Amino acid sequence: MFDVVIAGGGPTGMMLAAELRLHGVRVLVVEKDVEPPLFVRSLGLHVRSIEIMDQRGLLEQFLAHGRQHPVGGFFAGIDKPAPHLDSEHAYVLGIPQTVTDRLLAEHAAAAGAEIRRGCEVLSFTQDDYGVTVVTSAGEERASFLVGCDGGRSTVRKLAGVGFPGEPARVETLLGEMEATASVDEMAAVTARVRETEKRFGVGPIGDGVYRVVVPAAGVSEDRAAPPTIEDFREQLRAVAGTDLGVHSPRWLSRFGDASRLADRYRAGRVFLAGDAAHVHPPTGGQGLNLGLQDAFNLGWKLAAEIAGWAPLGLLDTYEAERRPVAEDVVNNTRAQMALMDTAPGPQAVRRLFAELMDFEDVNRYLVEKLTGIGVRYDFGSADDRIGRRQKDVPVKQGRLYEHMRGGRGLITGPRKAQGWADRVDHVEADQAVLLRPDGHIAWAGDSDDLEEQLRRWFGEESRT
């Protein structure tokens, strides 16, 4: 018997599996694809995801495979300089999703998660004690099931969770292929077209292969059917005036701008995370990052429930905290899509936004939204620090994030959580805060309710 079965072996599922394994939870990941996909949807990690990797000791591996870029020019492709961000990792890490997928899968496997590829969830039933999951490889019993199986989630559908929203109104073609045009011609065409069409882009990725993104003529009836190379040629000619001599595709795909948000993130012992819970346009590159942060929030809470020390209602805080974040992403991506419309009205609004973003506070506010560091969970406190993530800072021994590798709570400063030492670590520091395992501040040192907050997030004191 497993403690948790995770449907979906993408970045959200693998991140969650690794988080659970930090606490000794028995995890099974089932992934219907025999091999990881070759196509590259996401191209990078935002600031909050980079911080998460640092908190778990993974950042050096990711830095070795990526390239750091400034964070300006993200919101609707409006080019503005990078604002000052309150983070030790104020950059975007350019790294293909294929590499991110591989590193997280290796991390989960090394932590002890069992991963079965070529296996999918067919059905499940749940009772007061657990979930019986029927997969294509047989039947498994677990305490919980988590659907990390994408926008067309089988788990979500079987759980009867609604997925309301807006269907795709526009579609974009995406692929990797060779071309006869020179790099200089590619760059000139891209610069000219992107003056008005921000959904267009062509760039080299190595070995004579180019990543091509071009608006489609409409929305296909069969979204699962990949486009053809001729579709790309036609749209390149229509949008750019040249097909750039594209040929010999590696892979071709399409994506739309549908926006949907699950009615709920929990149905009894079944949870949803990542694209299974929310889909939205890819503007701002937030999708993969949003899923990673879902997993980071849910993992320690599920582990606490399985270990038996979770306070009443802790599992319900997953939806209470993460669903509003996803709703905000759905809203900001819709806004960005509107600002990227080439019609005169949206372009007028875009020019106004560009003027407003000349104000440092406005620019920073929008960038913090897209990078995830502006998130503040509602813990019911008037103190603006409470509920926000804690940035990395020096402590008496090294860096704060170095003391968070075990996925436990952490208290800094002179006070210790002696009755919770089996769940909360301590490190000497000038600043006194109580951090949850996901790095969000639950208590700050000028407040007298430390024990109340320890019980709220870490349960009752240990009697041993």
At 304-342, the pLDDT tens digits run 999 999 999 999 999 999 999 999 999 999 999 999 888
The reported pLDDT for the residue numbered 463 is 73
Contact 302, 157 (CB under 8 A): no
Model confidence pLDDT, tens digit, residues 69-78: 888 767 988 9
Write the CA distances from 242 to 174, 190, 234, 236, 249, integer angstroms: 17, 11, 9, 6, 17
Pick the range with the lowest mean pLDDT from 17-31, 219-233, 267-281, 303-317: 219-233
**pLDDT at 40 exceeding the cut of 70:** no
Q: Give the per-residue pLDDT at 284.
A: 82
Instruction: Using alpha carbons, list the distances in angstroms from residue 212 to 73, 216, 235, 258.
Output: 20, 12, 11, 21
**Distance from C-alpha of 384 to C-alpha of 377, rounded to nearest angstrom:** 10
Neighbours of 94 (CB within 10 A): 14
Where does residue 196 rank: exposed (0-12), middle (13-18), buried (19+ CB within 10 A)? exposed
Pairing of the two strands 138-147 and 131-135? antiparallel
The span from the CA of 425 to the CA of 97, in Å, is: 33
Structure tokens at 59: 């950042």
Domain 400-458 CATH class label: alpha beta
Element (H, E) at 60: helix 59-65
CA-CA distance, 47 to 397, in Å (whole number)?
A: 24
Backbone angles phi, psi at 440, to 5 degrees: -90, 145
- Interhelix angle 229-240/183-193, rounded to 10 degrees, is 60
- The residues spanned by each domain of the chain are 2-165+260-371, 171-256, 400-458
pLDDT tens for residues 238-294? 999 999 999 999 989 888 889 999 999 999 999 999 999 999 988 888 889 999 999
Whether the CB-CB separation of 119 and 128 falls below 8 Å is answered with no
Mean pLDDT confidence for 219-232 = 85
CATH fold group of domain 2-165+260-371: FAD/NAD(P)-binding domain (3.50.50)
Cα dist. 58→45, 325, 405 in Å?
Answer: 13, 24, 9
Backbone angles phi, psi at 3, to 5 degrees: -80, -40
- Classify domain 171-256 at the CATH topology level: Alpha-Beta Plaits (3.30.70)
pLDDT at 224 over 80: no
- Kindly indicate the confidence band of residue 427, based on its pLDDT and cuts at 50, 70 and 90: very high
According to the model, what pLDDT value does residue 322 have? 98
pLDDT mean across residues, the chain: 94
- The pLDDT of residue 221 is above 90: no
pLDDT at 388: 98
Is 420 in a helix, a strand, or coil? helix
pTM here? 0.94
DSSP 380: S
| Calpha distance 154→183 (Å, rounded) | 43
pLDDT for res 35: 85
- CB–CB of 410/427 below 8 Å? yes
